[in-house]
Structure 1
Amino acid sequence: MSSASIADRLNRLPISPFHKKATVIIGLGTFFDLYDIFLSGALAAVLAKQFHVDAKQLPLLIGSSFLGMFFGAVFLGRMADRLGRKRTYMFTLLVYSIFTLLGAFSTSVTALILFRFLAGIGLGVELPLCDVYLGELLPAAKRGRYTAWAYTLGFLGVPCVGFLARWLIPLHPLGIDGWRWIFILGSLGAVIVWFLRRDLPESPRWLESAGRKAEAEQLMRGFEAESQRLYGKLPELKETVPVVKTDFPFSKLFGREYIGRTVMLYIFQILQTFGYYGFGSLVPIILSQKGFAIVSSLGFTALSFIGYPVGSYLSLFLVERMERKWLISLSAFLMAGFGLLFGLSGSAGMIVAFGFLYTLVSNIFSNSFHIYQAEIFPTAVRATAAGSAYSLSRIMSGLMPFVLLPVLKQYGATTFFGVVACAMILIIVDIALLGPKTTGRSLESVNRLPVDPAVATGGSDLKI
């Protein structure tokens, strides 16, 4: 077989049990990733009361795990490109589980901030690595849909943490504070997923890119044998494309071939934080600022969070039918509108309705960009590129409480969401001008850039 055969052979495979198994296991992992990401926001008001947190400490308490994710995304993304997707997956989940369990038994706000930071390091590259792994394993025609299925399963963790907080906060099961149980459950669930991940295959595309062609060939023969057993003869190979060399330096992301895509994704990740995590992390505090009691605000938050898995499910019917860059732009526009309406709402019914609609469209937005960011760079540097860009969203999420909480306190919820709306409009401009088209195309064709320097910028009208 040629050096390019692994990608070609993966793209011609029908969806088989090994694809579905990988999707479910990755989805279960994202369940606990997203469970934890939204945990700090859901518990912020409770923990502030528990540890007598003052106004200066509260942003650090909320942002500590995001700051840890920044470092995890920066350093562990490169690990995934050098040591493999699976090995990195196993390491990151173990780090998260250990420090989340330790956080459950924190006796001071300082200890809790430290353990949340260390757990965040484990989480930092989890989501971009999920995008990369499924993007490399799945055939081009089904890549978006099955990645969206993984996130639909994962986003069940968001309302789960909301309802657990609403139920457990007033209780003390076995003499342990309810909020501590929420951390314990997250840690134990991650351990279960860790054992399931041991059965995942390594990415054949990564093995080939790393020069381990015999292992990639062995995996592919197993995949093809299973597909042939279930579906009969496989389609003929239609194309042969070159594999990017393994010595692809990180600096090349800023060369003329990829600078447009790199800048686009970096700007995107900085701004998307305001819309996506600005709501999810701070909505209980926003409701408290509106005058609702903690228990009531947790209930409204939990109901609003139902929109996350619903939006993720709806994305299944859109991500392969609509060009992803335009789907991201449309959902960003709707987030801006629903956010402003949420900020203006005063009644419980309007708050829940617009909160639900906001989270619904925000997960069409989220699923689309998670698929997208793993499509626009070559295999040898894909995890590094996605992880480094994603790290910017983590550092912004960590800094966001320091920026948005003063806006909320001084100017109110409407101005807060006005800032969010401005960020969403800038995202639309960014991705419309610089984002390449990817829907339905093989990863190799998306990244086979033209030789002509005049067009080798990664722009939206890229010709292959």
Structure 2
Amino acid sequence: MVEFKSSHPAFDQMKITPTFIEVTILSSMGVFMDGFSLSIFSAALTYLQAYILVRAIYVSLAASAIYIGMFLGSFSMGHLSDRIGRKRMYTYDLAITSLFLILTALSTTFYEFFIFELLAGIGIGADYPLSSSIEAEFSPRRSRGRFLVFNIFMWTIGSIVFYVISIPLIYRFGSTSWRWMYAVGAIVPIIVILARRALPESPYWLVKAGREDEAKKIADDIGKEVGYTDVELPMVEKGSSSYKSVFTGSYLPLIIFASLAWFSYDVSSYGVWNYTPSIFVSVGVSAINSILSTLLEDLPVIVGFVICLILIERVGRKLLQSVGFGLAGVSLLTFALYADHRTMPFIMIFTAFALMHLFHNIGPTNLTYVYPVEIFPTRIRGTAMGIATAASRIGAILGVFAFPLITDSVGMSSGLLFFAIFEFVGFIVTVTLAPETKAKPIS
């Protein structure tokens, strides 16, 4: 039997409730879907190059397609979530992804593949501002960072699950396994859509919309799960939800910081992830072993995640993101300067990528996702997160488009140097513009 309490806790200072756990799981499943879907291309590329991506420019364009879609989805849908609500968008956004992943599996030409990948990306991009906003708005203040880090870590889990599934598909279907990879990827969004239908609307957004009675009922219902009878609604900043609001006053340097830091991170992160298996194949590793080696690259990812999870509520966001960018830049620069100009052995490439993943996951992998939803108020949170996500997708497009062209023309060491430059850009913008949001309330 629940023991009811007479205190009046603020909504963001309650204990963890079953509803909050459900919100965390279902919001993180959108990020899981991102990791799963975006890893498909990297494993499928070896077979696609022999079928419909027969030119280097086709590879670059095809690799960019899903990120172009994510740019469009995040930029538009994040703003809509501020205007019409989180839940209405949140429940069905991934249906777009499911439909067009199926059509991608059926592609027979480069043009079909490009268009369907782009359209699939719209649904994935839409989920970024939605999942992160809902997670932040339901999280207890003093553990919000850890739960947001867990949320983005599900990208890695989605990627790992995909690579594990891809191995038997490659064994069974060989050169046509890429079609089955995309078809299997279409199943995950449907499961998430069905599970999300029972989630409540965010009390933060309801207060912002002037629907305090609905917000109060949801807050009290959640409070009752841990024994509270009367929960104080969050204080929410009033004002416009327009795009213009994000670029005015004190919010202008914040959106520059959030967008440029995430852009810089995605250039190197997605540039590497998209091509890791095919790069390993190019230096003599078999297709299956390239997948296994790519899975091993997740070990430093997990180590970095654990370090971030332990330290985020102790040392704060700014220090971790600065250290992560700085050390990733130094490690990539070191390999770029001391490697052979044209070729690099497998072990050197593997180690360069592994160190980058370790330092990224100590900081920018997680915190470029955390920062936008913590530094902007409810009225523009989805819009700002959508803009920052869109900027990050431009970085991803640049990384996945430029990397194969650079390595093909001037070598792997030049590709690593290209990525190192953006690591230092991320470091500089974090040191100069990032605020500290540890344990601070969101409005």
**TM-score scaled to structure 1, two decimals?**
0.86
For the 8 Å contact 2:65–2:117, the answer to whether it is kept is yes
Larger mean CA deviation between 110-119 and 275-284 belongs to 275-284
Q: CA deviation at 1:416?
A: 0.8
Residue type of the alignment partner of 2:136: G
Aligned 8 A contact 1:155 1:312 in 2: no
Q: CA deviation at 1:313?
A: 3.6
The structure whose residues are more often helix, as a share, is 2
CA contact (8 A) 1:270 1:393 kept: yes
Mapped to 2, the partners of 1:385 and 1:152 lie a distance apart of 21
Following superposition, the deviation at residue 140 of structure 1 comes to 0.9
**1:213 corresponds to:** 212
- Specify the SS of the correspondent of 1:202: coil
Question: RMSD between aligned alpha carbons?
Answer: 2.5
Aligned to 1:311: 304
1:366 aligns with 365
> What residue in structure 2 maps to residue 104 of structure 1?
105
Distance 1:289 1:384 in 2: 41
Bigger mean CA offset, 260-269 vs 70-79: 260-269
Q: How does 1:282-293 map to 2 (within 5 A)?
A: 282-293=275-286
Q: Which amino acid aligns with 1:32?
A: M
- Residue 61 of structure 1 corresponds to 62
Note if contact 1:158-1:308 (Cα within 8 Å) is conserved in structure 2: no
The residue number in structure 2 matching 1:75 is 76
Give the Cα separation in 1 of the matches to 2:164 and 2:331.
23
Note the C-alpha offset of 1:391: 0.5
2:4 alignment counterpart = none
Residue 116 of structure 2 corresponds to 115
1:333 aligns with 2:326: yes
Instruction: Tell me which residue corresponds to 1:448.
Output: none
Larger deviation: 300-309 or 255-264? 300-309
- Superposed CA deviations along residues 313-354 of structure 1, whole A, max 9, x for unmatched, are 442212211220211111112222343466649554554444
The answer to whether residue 240 in structure 2 is matched with residue 247 in structure 1 is: yes
Q: 1:259: which partner in 2?
A: 252
Residues 259-408 of structure 1: pairs in structure 2 closer than 5 A? 259-340=252-333, 344=339, 346-364=344-362, 365-408=364-407
Q: 1:24 to 1:314 in 2, by over 3 A?
A: farther
CA distance in 1, matches of 2:309, 2:227: 27
**Match of residue 193 from structure 1:** 192
What is the CA–CA distance in structure 1 between the aligned matches of 2:331 and 2:22, rounded to whole Å? Answer: 36
**CA displacement, residues 148-174 of structure 1 (integer Å, 9 cap, x when unaligned):** 22333442111222333344224229x
| Deviation of the 1:261 alpha carbon | 0.6
Aligned residues: 430
Identify unmatched segments of 5+ residues in structure 1. 1-6, 445-464
Shift in CA distance, 40/420, structure 1 to aligned 2, threshold 3 Å:
same
How high is the sequence identity, in percent, across the aligned residues? 28
Q: Is the 8 A contact 2:308 2:320 kept in 1?
A: no
Give the equivalent residue in structure 2 for 1:452: none
The residue number in structure 2 matching 1:147 is 148
How far 1:64 moved relative to its partner? 0.6
Preserved contact between residue 61 and residue 113 of structure 1 (Cα < 8 Å): yes
Find the counterpart in structure 1 of residue 51 from structure 2.
Answer: 50
Contact 1:73 1:391 survives alignment (8 Å): yes
| Inter-partner Cα distance in structure 2 for 1:135 and 1:390 | 16
Q: Is the 8 A contact 1:286 1:408 kept in 2?
A: no
Change (3 A) 1:32 1:15: same
Q: Secondary structure at the match of 1:443?
A: coil
User: What TM-score, normalized by structure 2, do the two folds share?
Assistant: 0.89
Aligned in 2, Cα 1:411/1:51: closer, same or farther, shift over 3 Å?
Answer: same
**Secondary structure of 2:66's aligned partner:** helix
How many angstroms apart in 2 are the aligned matches of 1:359 and 1:186? 24
5 Å-filtered alignment, 1:116-131, equals 116-131=117-132
